[in-house]
Structure 1
Amino acid sequence: MLFGVCYYPEHWPEERWGTDARMMKEAGMNVVRIGEFAWSKLEPREGEYDFSWLDRIIDLMTEHGIRVILGTPTATPPKWLMDKHPEIYMRDKFGHVRGFGNRRHYCYNSASYYPYITTIVEKLASRYASHPGVMAWQIDNEFGCNETTRCYCDACKLAFQVWLQGKYGDIDAMNERWGTVFWSQIYNEWLEVVLPANTPFPLHNPGLELDYRRFASDSVVKFQKLQIDLIKQYAPHQAVTHNMMGAFNEVDDFELSKELDIASWDNYPNLMFTRDVNPAIAAMQHDMTRGLKGRNFWVMEHQSGQPGGNIMFPTPRPGELRRWTYQSIAHGADGILYFRWRGCLFGAEQFWHAILQHDGKEGRKYNETKQVGEELKRVASLLEGSANASRAAMVRSFDNEWAFEIQPHIMNYSYMDHFTSYYQYFYDHGIGMDIISPNDDFTNYRLLVLSNFIMATDDMVERLYAFVEGGGSLVLDYRAGAKDWDNRMEPLTLPGKFADLLGITVEEYGVMYKDDTRRIKVEGHDEDYRGGKWFDVIVPRGAESMAVFDEDYYAGSPAVTKHVYGKGTAYYIGTELDSALRDLIFNEISICSKVAAHRGSGIRVPHGVELVSRVKVDKTLWFVINHTVKAADILLDGVYEDGLSGRKLAKGISVLEGNGVWMLLEIEAPSE
């Protein structure tokens, strides 16, 4: 188990380094990340290099038994470089130069930038490839954060045209698939193709928009691969990662992760203005990161204090730092690096607080971190080799999310909010969930949930039919099958290619006004459930109705259906379900699909307490995490030992304190 911190030795006097290393060691830390923003310190002027300070800090950490993850510094090209090559600057859709003063101000397709990247990365890789203290590399920093992926400069325009030529081969084929005959936008030459920059009436061709987003994502993947290949030439046995951004979507992280040895992400649960932080959001993003490579991951930046640039976000309360840490581990994190070690005295992140306050002294957060470090030493052998095992999965499609950003259908509609509403059910009901790519193997799952799958390739359609026919349960919902993979409407009655699978036709559809809903009835239930945002007028063609609209001109038509196909069942949801109806529908789906809920584990937890498992051969580790400040009664059907405290918990009710965490291993099974 990696346990450590992000450290910036270049920010502090060298005489302080030894104190910091000692305090880290005393807190149980065994890894630091350094160097990702230090280019101007490593190469203060072109061709003038100073690695001596980096040598000394790596040696110092190694002496203290702390390994190093080195960041390549390409997120912050120095001023001398940008002054020499201003064409490297990124341009936004209005043509404005991003300019110097922040980070990631470079264009991923700038030919002028690549030689400098090659030089600095090669020098770092060749110098530290054989250093016993360097264990891994982080490429750049947070691709896709703060709208820094989509550039509209001339270099990107030319690169986009080349990318399109490689994809379509023939300009007429591209015109056909985009439908450029609309608004007289037919292109005769590749060099005529524009970027979807700002226009007085900002509606570009949806095919152009989608391909541009795919191209921009591919540009980042290419940029990262250049650096990975350079590092692997010198350090083939050192791991390479990148700190991704969970639910952020500028880059297709499935593609970005393919060349990485391990996926990582940056976890800031409290980075929002809300009194009650929803712990399902962080849980979902952990599951997203685990799904990128289908295995455990690292949290390269883990919140340790209140975040802030010009303003500050809420301060973590006592116990929250520990609770968030174990939530990360519960969902598959094998590495935790807190951000950051000490609050910086200068620069744009002065208010981004850390384990140590600005004075550098031990305090509440340091002591809480130290407690976690001591606990992890006790449970490291239990955690080693353990992983999450889920029989249900949600399919995350960056292409479909981009399609909804380009054309959201409904005012202020968010694909990710809708995706999250489904995930919330599984989180609330203790059902382990993988979040996977549309290209992943579905055969290991009993239940698949695909939200807003407006586009699907023919291959994916075939695999979904095969999944259900073989006994799987599938959930699709409104807009499924409406478009092809080029982002143009299908000339088919909805749900298009999914019609036979779902056993329905959608004869009409529409949006609802903001905050408007329609009453929905479920047989055997007296409640008035509600559906909002969207309605499908569904005609069953073999499907069975599970819920029915009860007002407006489509009253009596199904809102939710299920259809037996082969050995499995395909479900369709034709509106945005309120939480009560969502839970009712998914309860039935979960039971019918035989998705094992944690509620049957022998542990019963109340609302506000999360239950997650990691499995190791024949042992199951149960993480019980109280996300409230109030003590919670936990019902145990057997006898368990809490690995974190060493305490034995008897059968019956035990009390878990507010913000408390148990890591339980069953030592006496429930009696029959």
Structure 2
Amino acid sequence: MYRGVDYYPEHWDIEMMDSDLSRMKEMGVNLVRIGEFAWHLMEKEEGKIDFSFFDRAIEKIKEYGIEVMFGTPTATFPAWLVQKHPSILIEDENGQKISFGGRRQYCYNSEVYQEYSLNIVQKLVTHYQHEKAIVAWQIDNELGHEGSDMCYCSQCQKAFHSFLEEKYETVDELNNVWGTIFWGQTYNDFSEIPVPKKTITVHNPSMMLDWARFRSQSLSEFAKKHVELVRELKGEHQTVTTNLPGGFFDKWFDHNEFSRSLDYVSYDNYPVWGGLKEPVTPAELSATLDFVRGLNKQNFWIVEQLMGAQGHDIIGYLPRPNQAKAWSYHAFAHGCNNMLYFRWRGMNRGAEQYCLGILDANNQKTRKFHEVKSFFNHISQYEDLFDAPIQADVAVLYDFDNIWAWRIQRESSQFQFMNELVRMYEPFYRQNIAIDVLRYDHDFSTYKVVILPVMKVIDEELVRRLEEFTKAGGTVIMSYRAGVKNKQNNLILGETIPGKLSPLLGIQVEESESLHDGQQVTVVTTDGEESTCKVWRDIVRPTTAQTLYHYTDHFYKEYACVTENQFGEGKAYYVGGGLELDALVDLAKDIAQDQGLQNIQTEPGVEAVRRTDGTTNYIIVINHNGHEVTFKNKVLQPYECRFFEMSEEGTIDELS
């Protein structure tokens, strides 16, 4: 198990390395991550390659028995490169070139940048391919983060035309699919098609979805070229990964497209960052980690784990004592098996002076150092446990085409895709049931429950798979706006919503209403239990389904909001609005009982995760609260994590 820190020896006097490395060893570090922003240090002038600084640094690191993950430096190119080739810079939707001075300012469709970036990677990996201390290569850094996934330059426009011509073959077919007859947007040639810079009102939704697919392909092809080059040149003992940033569903790329070419997925785990007054909820954080694990359906690395407060200009929430340590346990519970903290020491100059690390600028060992030391000491005893796979009975499915369609047309001012995914994820999470978050093309036939949040874009093949799954005894749960659009991001003429899903769900949606800030509607069960919906509501008429919740307002009280439909040996549920959590938890409890799902009851804010190493069954209990709680009559302090062993008879004993 690798336990380490992100370390940048070039930021400091090299004479500090002995002090740094000796304290790292004391803390339990056996791996450091270096190099990902150091292109200029490696090539101060074009063609003058010099790795001597890192030669010396690696020799010093080896003296302390520490190994290395080396980041290829292409996320921050040198100033001389942009001065010579300004075409490499991203152009924004207003036609303005992004200035040099930040990071990831390069266009993925720039052939010039591809050439220069692959050249430095080729030189770097070749130089160190036989270096035994380097055990992993990290490609670039947080691809597509902070808006770097979008560019509107002439290079992108040319590549977009090629993308469209390959997809549609003729411009007449494109016109037909996009419906360009509307607003007189019909094209005579692919070369007439613009990139979607700012215009009056909005661009064509079908065009915008193809633009999103093109953006994703642009990034993914860039990443794959770098992965393939490193894989070709690296030593046999070296692996290839890249570090994914958070905010997956707010990105214009599908992480699956390049992640499946990696030896393992790596992630930068920030439960809080600059500007946030409090961390994301444990449910959202858990769903995020389950998404990372679901990309390749295997355990993953975290190569940036937060320890200190963060912010480039506005500083976010200060993690309380042991809270960041709890997030570290939480990450391991959800599939992390190797972890590096960001960063060893906070930088005292430059843009990230307020991205605090294990050590601050005072260079003193404080609480954070001792928290990491105790965590490393404990977690290293369970390597086999955290290398073992996680088995889940519940899967949450997503499709980036659907996510982008929502971004293009939000329909409600209150809509956020991640919120709606968490809305459907959290009812099972609260029962401490293991969940996988997967792209829809994964095989889901072995699960017991499959959840598809707000899947308004859907194809007939997925409908068929869902029907087969449900007929065989599975449970499907879908939320509002399901089946509204086809894969061209168009409404379907002549079909009543939810279209091809109607037989499975046993409903027809006669009308819908977008709910905005301050608006909610009341729903009630046949037993008189009330709840509310926000964001959206579908006016549902059951055909074969049973009504679980119906509306109470005068015009729609005869219509359903939540339904249950028997389909073959299984059941399909429809949640026709942004139903509040308590009602969804009640529904999930009934489904869990019906499907025999293993759940563990805990106090609010307490998470209990089942894991096994194949021999021993464990329950990892994490108190996400800032106050004491109990589990099995054991008191957990604020943000404390404890390991329990569960016998075959079901008894639970605390481990030391």
Q: Give the TM bin, normalised by the shorter chain.
A: over 0.9
Offset at residue 668 of structure 1 (A): 7.8
Q: Which amino acid counterpart does residue 213 of structure 1 have in structure 2?
A: A
Q: Which amino acid counterpart does residue 615 of structure 1 have in structure 2?
A: T
SS in 2 for 1:334: strand
> Is the contact between residue 5 and residue 339 of structure 1 (CA under 8 Å) also seen in structure 2?
yes
Offset at residue 392 of structure 1 (A): 0.1
**Distance in structure 1 (CA, Å) of the matches to 2:280 and 2:440:** 30
> Is the contact between residue 343 and residue 350 of structure 1 (CA under 8 Å) also seen in structure 2?
yes
**Which of 657, 661, 667 matches 2:641?**
661
SS in 1 for 2:380: helix
> Is the contact between residue 277 and residue 316 of structure 2 (CA under 8 Å) also seen in structure 1?
no
Offset at residue 583 of structure 1 (A): 1.7
In structure 2, the residue matched to 1:147 is 147
**Distance in structure 2 (CA, Å) of the matches to 1:506 and 1:352:** 49
> Is the contact between residue 145 and residue 248 of structure 1 (CA under 8 Å) also seen in structure 2?
no
**Distance in structure 2 (CA, Å) of the matches to 1:534 and 1:68:** 50
**Distance in structure 1 (CA, Å) of the matches to 2:651 and 2:41:** 64
SS in 1 for 2:152: coil
> Is the contact between residue 385 and residue 611 of structure 2 (CA under 8 Å) also seen in structure 1?
no
> Is the contact between residue 271 and residue 279 of structure 2 (CA under 8 Å) also seen in structure 1?
no
What's the % identity of the aligned pairs? 36
State how 1:567-586 maps to structure 2 within 5 Å. 567-586=569-588
SS in 2 for 1:49: coil
Question: What's the CA shift string for 1:355-408, capped at 9, x where partnerless?
Answer: 00102221111111111121123223443x322211001012221111111000
In structure 1, the residue matched to 2:506 is 503
SS in 2 for 1:112: helix
Question: What's the CA shift string for 1:541-564, capped at 9, x where partnerless?
Answer: 111111111113111211111111
In structure 2, the residue matched to 1:609 is 606
Question: What's the CA shift string for 1:394-452, capped at 9, x where partnerless?
Answer: 01222111111100001142111111122222222211110001100011111011011
In structure 1, the residue matched to 2:232 is 233
State how 1:341-490 maps to structure 2 within 5 Å. 341-383=344-386, 385-490=387-492
In structure 2, the residue matched to 1:629 is 626
SS in 2 for 1:81: helix
In structure 2, the residue matched to 1:642 is none
**Distance in structure 1 (CA, Å) of the matches to 2:381 and 2:598:** 30
SS in 1 for 2:539: strand
Moved more, 453-462 or 660-669: 660-669
> Is the contact between residue 414 and residue 535 of structure 2 (CA under 8 Å) also seen in structure 1?
no
SS in 1 for 2:111: coil
Q: Which amino acid counterpart does residue 221 of structure 1 have in structure 2?
A: S
Offset at residue 533 of structure 1 (A): 2.4
State how 1:77-476 maps to structure 2 within 5 Å. 77-201=77-201, 203-235=202-234, 237=236, 238-249=238-249, 250=251, 251-271=253-273, 273-275=276-278, 277-383=280-386, 385-476=387-478
**Distance in structure 2 (CA, Å) of the matches to 1:277 and 1:394:** 19
Offset at residue 518 of structure 1 (A): 1.7
**Distance in structure 2 (CA, Å) of the matches to 1:259 and 1:236:** 17
SS in 2 for 1:480: coil
**Distance in structure 2 (CA, Å) of the matches to 1:528 and 1:51:** 67
**Distance in structure 1 (CA, Å) of the matches to 2:482 and 2:40:** 50
**Distance in structure 1 (CA, Å) of the matches to 2:554 and 2:69:** 60
Offset at residue 318 of structure 1 (A): 1.2
**Distance in structure 2 (CA, Å) of the matches to 1:514 and 1:670:** 47
Offset at residue 667 of structure 1 (A): 5.5
**Distance in structure 1 (CA, Å) of the matches to 2:462 and 2:623:** 39
Change (3 A) 1:218 1:14: same
**Distance in structure 2 (CA, Å) of the matches to 1:666 and 1:561:** 37
Offset at residue 235 of structure 1 (A): 1.4
**Distance in structure 2 (CA, Å) of the matches to 1:223 and 1:276:** 33
Offset at residue 236 of structure 1 (A): 5.8
Change (3 A) 1:77 1:19: same
**Distance in structure 2 (CA, Å) of the matches to 1:350 and 1:177:** 50
Q: Which amino acid counterpart does residue 551 of structure 1 have in structure 2?
A: D
In structure 1, the residue matched to 2:52 is 52
Question: What's the CA shift string for 1:46-98, capped at 9, x where partnerless?
Answer: 11122011112122222222111111111101100000000000011111111
**Distance in structure 2 (CA, Å) of the matches to 1:378 and 1:586:** 35
Question: What's the CA shift string for 1:21-60, capped at 9, x where partnerless?
Answer: 1111111111111111000111111111220111121222
> Is the contact between residue 287 and residue 435 of structure 1 (CA under 8 Å) also seen in structure 2?
yes
**Distance in structure 1 (CA, Å) of the matches to 2:650 and 2:593:** 23
Unaligned runs of 5+ in 2: none
Q: TM-score, normalised by structure 1?
A: 0.94
SS in 2 for 1:113: helix
Moved more, 99-108 or 530-539: 530-539
Offset at residue 321 of structure 1 (A): 2.1
CA RMSD in angstroms comes to 1.6
Q: Which amino acid counterpart does residue 470 of structure 2 have in structure 1?
A: V
> Is the contact between residue 283 and residue 331 of structure 1 (CA under 8 Å) also seen in structure 2?
yes
> Is the contact between residue 515 and residue 537 of structure 2 (CA under 8 Å) also seen in structure 1?
yes
Offset at residue 453 of structure 1 (A): 0.4
**Distance in structure 2 (CA, Å) of the matches to 1:539 and 1:156:** 46
Moved more, 612-621 or 51-60: 612-621
> Is the contact between residue 431 and residue 596 of structure 1 (CA under 8 Å) also seen in structure 2?
yes
**Distance in structure 2 (CA, Å) of the matches to 1:580 and 1:670:** 28
Offset at residue 277 of structure 1 (A): 4.7
> Is the contact between residue 457 and residue 483 of structure 2 (CA under 8 Å) also seen in structure 1?
yes
**Distance in structure 2 (CA, Å) of the matches to 1:634 and 1:578:** 27
Q: TM-score, normalised by structure 2?
A: 0.96
Question: What's the CA shift string for 1:493-531, capped at 9, x where partnerless?
Answer: 11101011111111122223422122211122x432112
